[in-house]
Amino acid sequence: MKKTILLIISTLFLHITSASAQDAEYDDDDYNIPIDPLSNDIISVVDIDAKHIYALGEFGLTSYCDPTFGITIAYMETWGGYVTAHTNFNFHKPLEYHINKNGFDKNGKQAFLSGNSEVSRLSLVGGATYKILPKLCVYAGGGYSWRRLMFETVDGELLVVDDNSTEGWTFDFGAIANFDKLLVKLGLNTTKFKLADFRVGLGYRF
């Protein structure tokens, strides 16, 4: 009888010890997950959170001295990404009729102009960020932009002036300095290397 009781107690002890050892395998803080069985590097699920997301309000000035206003949303860690939109809020649509700065079309026909003009600006870009210093990131990306100079006709229609308009692919680059929750951004955006848009921004971390 005693041998039977001892055998039961021993069996229970071994079962409890084995269960405790299995539970201990899952007690790591923050559910850390090894990247590689042979590596000591660890990825933690708490590393990706809102503390690395920033919003920046921006002001831009093109090489034609057109002001633009924009916003950037950026995720900045060692590597990250961003998207930026800039505009001057003029979305008037011109006619599909192009002239030069003197008011003549490609066939030499002169348009009847009122003397008024408008500029439409839009830029949409995105790309990657990289932290080169603890408080400094560089960024580079691309997208699509336009600058449309439009002359008004005597009938109130808008015509695109080809000499001073640029539309197409855009290259975007610059740097973002991080002062705790405050960010300062300096950058340059160029459309087909014909139009430059110098940009400065201030941001705040969520």
**Got the DSSP string for 98-160?**
EE-TTSB-TTSPBP-EEEEEEEEEEEEEEEEEEEEETTEEEEEEEEEEEEEEEEEETTS-EEE
pLDDT single digits (tens) 63-122: 999 999 999 999 988 999 999 999 999 999 999 999 999 999 999 999 999 999 999 999
How confident is the model at residue 202, as a pLDDT? 95
Q: Which residues of the chain have pLDDT under 70?
A: 1-50, 206
CA-based nearest residue to 121, from 147, 95, 92: 147
